[in-house]
């Protein structure tokens, strides 16, 4: 009995591999179809974006609003939220704003209840807010490490728990996780950031599998893994090989990834090859390639927002909150 079960498992695995070849060819053919024919409509749907008060989050809000979606933006900055709302309304869209501390689980649940009552069911949740410390592991203060995980991954659990049940009930919805290439490969001076983004990538994959196992095929997930973006969050970063990405490009690719139900969006796309090499090459070979590309020095002159945008008189809490961006 044990042998026959093993044989059946092996045969099923071989069949799955053959099927995967078909899916690879199918994906290639679909990629050749112009994007305008592959995008779904979001007109009238409610799109909630965390960290929507600035940067990529604000751009996502504007782009989704331009496609007829009702926008809900959550941000720790009331001023940033209001500016996003002004821009959306000026462009003819609809926008609701909520000042929310994503590190506070109960505050997230409370805000979610208000959204459901005042706006309605959330159709697309974009977990976008994120922070970065940018220090070596030994120099990273405990409170900043904790804050990094609270914002970059723990908040995803609270927001998704708040809105996923309604998506499952209607078998319709979309959970979007803005992670990072640093969630697929480690980076010097980003130990806490990388760990939180690795967790975000794992969260998305596990959630997607769970939804498929339980038959909720109408609830989609997308994880976005971009390289450094010139929003100010990574001010001072230098890159020898891979170009630092423009916010407008990233936001457009995020929106298209959502509209085309992409499982994973890696930016720039050729970085898929580098990630593949990371898993194929021996550790020493990977390290040599990493150094040759200057990867170990990208964070050497990192400044971030703290030294550029904040006054010395601001409190520690304000310093921490300012790093929450889109």
Distance CA 9, CA 319 (A): 54
What DSSP line would sit under 239-263, residue for residue?
A: -SSSPPBPHHHHHHHHHHHHHTT-S
d(CA 254, CA 126): 10
Set 22, 23, 98, 193: catalytic member:
193
Asked whether the beta carbons of 245 and 267 are under 8 A apart, the reply is yes
Which residues, 6 or more positions from 254, have their beta carbon under 8 angstroms from its beta carbon? 56, 60, 126, 176, 178, 224, 265
The CA angle 31-181-275, to the nearest 5 degrees, is: 70
Is 193 known to be catalytic? yes
Angle (nearest 5°) at CA 200 between 198 and 206: 100
Q: What are the tokens at 9?
A: 């498992």
For residues 201 and 174, what is the distance between their CA atoms, to the nearest angstrom? 16
Please give the positions annotated as active site.
193
């Amino acid at each position: 009995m044990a042998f026959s079960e093993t044989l059946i498992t092996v045969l099923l695995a071989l069949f799955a591999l053959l099927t995967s070849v078909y899916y690879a060819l199918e994906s290639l053919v679909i990629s050749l179809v112009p994007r305008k024919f592959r995008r779904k409509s979001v007109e009238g749907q409610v799109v909630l974006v965390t960290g929507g008060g600035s940067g990529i989050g604000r751009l996502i809000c504007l782009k989704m609003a331009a496609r007829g979606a009702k926008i809900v933006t959550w941000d720790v900055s009331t001023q940033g939220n209001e500016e996003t709302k002004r821009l959306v309304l000026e462009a003819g869209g609809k926008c609701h704003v909520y000042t929310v501390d994503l590190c506070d689980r109960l505050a997230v649940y409370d805000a979610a209840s208000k959204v459901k009552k005042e706006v309605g069911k959330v159709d697309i949740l974009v977990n976008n807010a994120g922070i970065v410390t940018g220090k070596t592991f030994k120099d990273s203060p405990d409170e900043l490490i904790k804050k990094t995980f609270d914002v970059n991954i723990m908040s995803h659990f609270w927001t998704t728990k708040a809105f996923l049940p309604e998506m499952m009930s209607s078998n319709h919805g979309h959970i979007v996780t803005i992670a990072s290439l640093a969630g697929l490969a480690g980076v010097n001076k980003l130990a806490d950031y990388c760990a939180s983004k690795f967790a975000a990538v794992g969260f998305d994959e596990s959630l997607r599998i769970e939804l498929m196992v339980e038959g909720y095929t109408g609830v989609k997930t997308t994880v976005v893994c971009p390289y450094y973006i010139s929003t100010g969050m990574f001010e001072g970063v230098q890159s020898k090989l891979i170009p630092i990405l423009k916010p407008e490009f990233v936001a457009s690719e995020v929106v298209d990834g959502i509209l085309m139900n992409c499982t994973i969006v890696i930016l720039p796309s050729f970085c898929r090859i580098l990630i593949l090499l990371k898993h194929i090459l021996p550790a020493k070979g990977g390290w040599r390639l990493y150094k040759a590309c200057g990867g170990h020095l990208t964070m050497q002159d990192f400044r971030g927002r703290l030294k550029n945008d904040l006054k010395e008189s601001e409190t520690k809490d304000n310093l921490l909150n300012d790093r929450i961006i889109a």
